[in-house]
Structure 1
Amino acid sequence: MRRRSVISRRVAAAAISVVLVSGAAACAGPQDAEPRGDSGDQGKPRKGGTLTVLNAAPQTDFDPARLYTSGGGNVPSLVFRTLTTRDREDGAAGTKVVPDLATDTGRPNADATEWTFTLKEGVKYEDGTPITSADIKYGVERSFAAELSGGAPYLRDWLIGGSTYEGPFTRKGKKGLDSIVTPDDRTIVFKLRKPEGEFPYLATQTQFTPVPRAKDTGTRYEERPVSSGPYRVVRNESDGERLLLERNPHWSAKTDPERKAYPDTIDVRSGLDAAVINQRLATGTGADAAAVTTDTNLGPAELARVGDDKELASRVGTGRFGYINYLAFNPKVKPFDNAKVRQAISYAINRTSVINAAGGSALAEPATTFLPEKKAFGHRPYDHFPAGATGDPAKARQLLKEAGREKLTITLTHSTEQNRQTSPEVATAVQEALKKAGITVKLQGLESNAFNEARWDAKKTPGFFLSRWGADWPSGAPFLAPIFDGRQIVKDGSNYNHAQLNDPAVNKEIDEINKLTDLDAAARRWGALDERIGRLALDVPLFHPVYKRLYGKDVKNIVISDWTGVLDISQVAVK
């Protein structure tokens, strides 16, 4: 059972983490990916120059054991290569998993309980020493150490012996995990306790970064990690507020067709105010002309200004990450144990007013399904409680009458943080919509940390609250399983199954889909399962966020995929 999840990393902090706020901007598709030298053709991306990254959140914990690959834009993937990676293509094409350090995306045994990878020949660290399978094994094992916690939780659940392993820094853990086998320097085998057809997706996580044991400095490794990617860390100041990257001389494009690595230097500067970031990008003087942001969105007022300026508008793009904002019910709390009450609320919601509260249609798109509207997730369109764009209060009143709850007073818990996701404005929009159906809603606003602690505590989960969820990779598995798999209900830790649904048929279907290594077939079944669970009215999908970003006037080759929703720094070139 997973004790932590992407949300504990992205959301349980005092502010929304980089994934929510770091859907990157991209308006054009990728340009010619090959540098042309001094040909006089200014439309082609070329090598050279410095790319500046202006961010609000510092790139903290710059250790592959402690990061998510989607965290911090793609800055970590410039330094850390993994067994597999995402296809660095624009849009839906970028949801595919492709080889990185490995020669392929992994070879499963008959029931997907064992995965074998072979490393490419000639892959090296920044000092020229070869990367070996033993380094991958050690990199995975150190991610189990308590002092390096923070990364993706899946390996603890998936690997045989993972649930009790303590990492290589303890006397008991020095022997390593028997479920990771390295028969030679280029081969590594992972033995799982259950079928996992999506292991190639997991192998994109930074925990699969090679780490040379002799160079490991434990908790200080983040200060000067050993690079396996196109850039190496030459400066890390104030725990990631200033991160300076320069070329790794031993990186070879022949072994890494995904990362283009055009700039000579990448200068990441964080801890900046969002308004200052957008102003600097808009003005674009000096180094800011060749700058991007991976965690700062444009707000409604800024978008209005951009709309009146054609030059600025040409430098704004749209990114979408697989994310859902929704109303959550806890059926263990009355009156939400009554399905007709939950259905009535579903009919009463005015999504137009909710979207306006979230920043308007440019920043939010209405949702009636839990899964995002992307093929990779297996999205299947449905609307079990069709209320139109502005709600159906008459239908809601009818259902409340049938439930014997014509006069109903309930409490909606939300965050007091101004994040346009679970904010007071969105809560107020819900309150006003339900009032038209005869439902009195009292608002309970909690500070961000208290809000997250409340909604993820199985013993204290509110009956009705605003929530959100994002997937670690573009599939229905990390989207539906943590929320609806009854075996993942956590009584004494972070619990994400807000409804505490424990349906044997749902659990069985999750297991059956997890056996599939045909990811397209798996996606179709995730979509069917989403539609099936949706009939239970355990949540009310509200909207999917949309990200609008500015980038500098000298930045070229803007690429953003539906995998991360983040501008891909590995593709960017500067004048």
Structure 2
Amino acid sequence: MSLPNKRGATAATASLALLAALATACGGPANGSTAAAFDPATCQGGTLTVLAHSGQGKFDPAQLYTSGGGKVPTLVFRTLTTRDHTTAGPDGAKVVPDLATDIGEPNQDATVWTYHLKPGLKFEDGTPIRAQDVKYGIERSFSPELPGGPPYLRDWLVGGEQYQGPYHGGGDLASIQTPNDSTLVFQLTKPEGDFPFLATATQFAPVPQAKDTGADYQKHPISSGPYEVVSNDDGKQMVLARNPYWSRSIDDQRLACPDKIVYTSGLDPSVINQRLLASSGDDARAVSGDTDIDASVLARLNGDPALRKRVAVGNFGETDYLAFNPKVKPFDNPLVRQAISYAVDRQSVINAVGGSAVAKPATTFLPDQAAFGYTPYDDFPAGPSGDPAKAKQVLAQAGYPDGLTITLSHSTTSVTSGPDVATAVQQALAKAGITVKLDPSSDDDYSTKIQTPAQEPGFFITGWGADWPSGGPFLAPIFDGRQILTDGNFNTAQLDDPQVNAEIDAANRLTDPAQSAKAWGQLDVELGKQAWDVPLFHPVYQRLFGSAVKNAYVSQWNGVYDLSRISVK
């Protein structure tokens, strides 16, 4: 998913701007509850409050852009698979069964996937969950009336490109077969070893056709998870209460400790941190929904051990980087791209987004997590502050012994791709004899410009976040030549290399996670040598929680709290 204007809401860096004034005051992430163990004594009811800046939006499983994590939708919608909610840290990025008995049975080339539902599954009204309900839930996500979900199903399922959903006589999608009430068979257009990851998306949540109210379904979707929707103000304010037909005996992934969950949005990030810092009344049993700690919290961490214990630290698969368009001179010259790679001062960029407490330097495109296939490399080693002398040497080899002038496009307001980062890059490149002119655009205009090949600038700041922790949704959208689009394009280099495309296909065929990760890591190493981009940093997430909250940790799948594990006193 593209950053900063993501296609989905998998991660947020809402309060990074507030950290800029305190760049490296704490010298790194707090040693908070990064992998809190479950305490059975605290799993005894109560009300958990989630304080958020952004609303949930349309709370319809067809329209949500979320998968596998522990956000609010996971409390209401069970899916065929999910992330491992029982484990904090890197192992929590693994796929495990949810409604299904396993993570899926592929045929030999991973073009057919079969799932079997667990026995005893029920909706909130006590009716059984059937394979046909899962099929219907997926089919309705194709309807033009329900936009917003991820695009993979349309691309991956046979007939998906033309299918318009079951409304208006659209019929069913023949590539999803239900030979009986507990079996689903998916026919894919091409091998996809990552299908178990996709099956964590809310589009795989069962929807009973008789209860489908179309665009109004989001007001009261039928729960298959531990909580049902009591009230929903367009995703801005929501109240969830226990689903009486759910139990831990049929769901080993969600603890569902609180009796009630109240989601409140529209809050300023600073207000969220102030309320959690004070931790009084209901706020003692509250967590941040989408806001990182701000400067006021950071400034107190070293001197307040009790407060440090109320900060959860985690990572999400995201890389922010400088992008080149080789169709624009002089970026068609690999040596120019290499010279810029040597010249970049990553530490100054990290300081610009808030310091080492919230970001760590990146020299690889893949995030530094094993699930993605991370393989360390640094093809243009320049240390944390850049190597302007080496950059000048390579620039001379490129035919620019006296330096050159280029333009860097950036957003006007984004923290990660905005003026502060652009200025840091400008100052670093100046030391190497490269004059950088800055070209700012409003966020909406900027997104349109960098995602439209006909308008794409030669040099700009962007980022990519994972839809799930695998190399596939990270490298393919950026480097697969068959994914170059006339608009909404993320292949910034507009690279269409048959060899790269073939390696992407080969990696997609792999269904063993270890083999898949190795293949994506090898491809990342190969691509890195070409300097199609300059990785800058990977974000670090630090989030505060109330003093009466237990078992809080930040999921490495999506960088937010796993609400399904949290308990309150």
Bin the TM-score by the shorter chain.
over 0.9
Q: Deviations over 1:139-178 (max 9, x none)?
A: 000111112111111011110001111111132x2x2111
1:560 is aligned to 554
CA distance, structure 2, for counterparts of residue 308 and residue 72 of structure 1: 33
Q: Shift of the alpha carbon at 1:307?
A: 3.0
2:37 is aligned to 31
Q: Shift of the alpha carbon at 1:407?
A: 2.8
CA distance, structure 1, for counterparts of residue 458 and residue 68 of structure 2: 31
CA distance, structure 2, for counterparts of residue 22 and residue 128 of structure 1: 40
Unaligned runs of 5+ in 2: 16-28
Aligned partner of 2:98 among 74, 97, 100: 100
Aligned partner of 1:504 among 476, 498, 512: 498
Q: Shift of the alpha carbon at 1:28?
A: 4.3
2:187 is aligned to 191
Q: Deviations over 1:88-122 (max 9, x none)?
A: 11001101100000011111111111011000111
Q: Deviations over 1:37-87 (max 9, x none)?
A: xxxxxxx32221000000000111111011122599610000000000000
Q: Shift of the alpha carbon at 1:17?
A: 4.5
Q: Aligned letter for 1:76?
A: P
Aligned partner of 2:13 among 3, 18, 21: 21
Query: Do 1:22 and 1:566's aligned partners in 2 also have CA atoms closer than 8 Å?
Result: no
Q: Shift of the alpha carbon at 1:563?
A: 1.4
Q: Shift of the alpha carbon at 1:506?
A: 0.4
CA distance, structure 2, for counterparts of residue 556 and residue 52 of structure 1: 13
SS in 2 for 1:53: strand
Show the 5 A alignment for 1:315-326. 315-326=310-321
2:115 is aligned to 117
Query: Do 1:31 and 1:45's aligned partners in 2 also have CA atoms closer than 8 Å?
Result: no
Q: Shift of the alpha carbon at 1:487?
A: 0.4
Aligned partner of 1:160 among 154, 158, 161: 158
CA distance, structure 2, for counterparts of residue 82 and residue 71 of structure 1: 8
CA distance, structure 2, for counterparts of residue 222 and residue 414 of structure 1: 36
Q: Aligned letter for 1:254?
A: S
CA distance, structure 2, for counterparts of residue 158 and residue 381 of structure 1: 31
SS in 2 for 1:251: coil
Show the 5 A alignment for 1:108-187. 108-171=106-169, 173=170, 175-187=171-183
What TM-score do you get using the length of structure 2 for normalisation?
0.95
1:297 is aligned to 292
1:81 is aligned to 78
2:567 is aligned to 573
Query: Do 2:69 and 2:562's aligned partners in 1 also have CA atoms closer than 8 Å?
Result: no
1:534 is aligned to 528
Query: Do 2:69 and 2:557's aligned partners in 1 also have CA atoms closer than 8 Å?
Result: no
Q: Shift of the alpha carbon at 1:18?
A: 5.5
Q: Deviations over 1:361-415 (max 9, x none)?
A: 1110000000011111100000000111110111111111111223311111111
CA distance, structure 2, for counterparts of residue 180 and residue 232 of structure 1: 27
Pick closer, same or farther for the CA change 1:119–1:231 going to 2, 3 Å. same
CA distance, structure 2, for counterparts of residue 264 and residue 315 of structure 1: 22
2:361 is aligned to 366
Aligned partner of 1:220 among 205, 213, 216: 216
Query: Do 1:315 and 1:551's aligned partners in 2 also have CA atoms closer than 8 Å?
Result: yes
Q: Shift of the alpha carbon at 1:21?
A: 2.8
Pick closer, same or farther for the CA change 1:279–1:301 going to 2, 3 Å. closer
CA distance, structure 1, for counterparts of residue 276 and residue 236 of structure 2: 18
1:64 is aligned to 61
CA distance, structure 1, for counterparts of residue 6 and residue 468 of structure 2: 19
Q: Aligned letter for 1:167?
A: G
- Indicate yes or no: 2:545 matched with 1:545: no
SS in 2 for 1:20: coil
Aligned partner of 2:409 among 392, 413, 420: 413
Q: Aligned letter for 1:106?
A: G
Q: Deviations over 1:324-357 (max 9, x none)?
A: 0000000011111111111000000011111111
Pick closer, same or farther for the CA change 1:540–1:301 going to 2, 3 Å. farther
2:21 is aligned to none
Q: Shift of the alpha carbon at 1:510?
A: 0.5
Show the 5 A alignment for 1:82-481. 82-88=79-85, 89-171=87-169, 173=170, 175-237=171-233, 239-405=234-400, 406-417=402-413, 419-481=414-476
Q: Shift of the alpha carbon at 1:304?
A: 1.6
- Indicate yes or no: 2:484 matched with 1:489: yes
Query: Do 1:11 and 1:17's aligned partners in 2 also have CA atoms closer than 8 Å?
Result: no
Query: Do 1:72 and 1:294's aligned partners in 2 also have CA atoms closer than 8 Å?
Result: no
Q: Shift of the alpha carbon at 1:572?
A: 0.3
SS in 1 for 2:12: helix
SS in 2 for 1:147: coil
Moved more, 544-553 or 17-26: 17-26
Pick closer, same or farther for the CA change 1:318–1:521 going to 2, 3 Å. same
1:3 is aligned to none
Q: Deviations over 1:472-498 (max 9, x none)?
A: 11110000000000000002x200000
CA distance, structure 1, for counterparts of residue 392 and residue 534 of structure 2: 17
Q: Shift of the alpha carbon at 1:290?
A: 0.2
Q: Shift of the alpha carbon at 1:209?
A: 0.5
Q: Aligned letter for 1:32?
A: F
CA distance, structure 2, for counterparts of residue 45 and residue 86 of structure 1: 23
C-alpha root-mean-square deviation of aligned residues, in Å?
1.7
Q: Aligned letter for 1:69?
A: T
CA distance, structure 2, for counterparts of residue 301 and residue 334 of structure 1: 45
Query: Do 1:330 and 1:336's aligned partners in 2 also have CA atoms closer than 8 Å?
Result: yes
Q: Aligned letter for 2:434?
A: I
- Indicate yes or no: 2:59 matched with 1:53: no
Pick closer, same or farther for the CA change 1:190–1:370 going to 2, 3 Å. same
1:38 is aligned to none
Query: Do 1:28 and 1:559's aligned partners in 2 also have CA atoms closer than 8 Å?
Result: yes
Pick closer, same or farther for the CA change 1:84–1:73 going to 2, 3 Å. closer
Q: Aligned letter for 2:544?
A: L
Query: Do 1:93 and 1:561's aligned partners in 2 also have CA atoms closer than 8 Å?
Result: no
SS in 1 for 2:113: strand
CA distance, structure 1, for counterparts of residue 346 and residue 60 of structure 2: 41
Query: Do 2:84 and 2:91's aligned partners in 1 also have CA atoms closer than 8 Å?
Result: yes
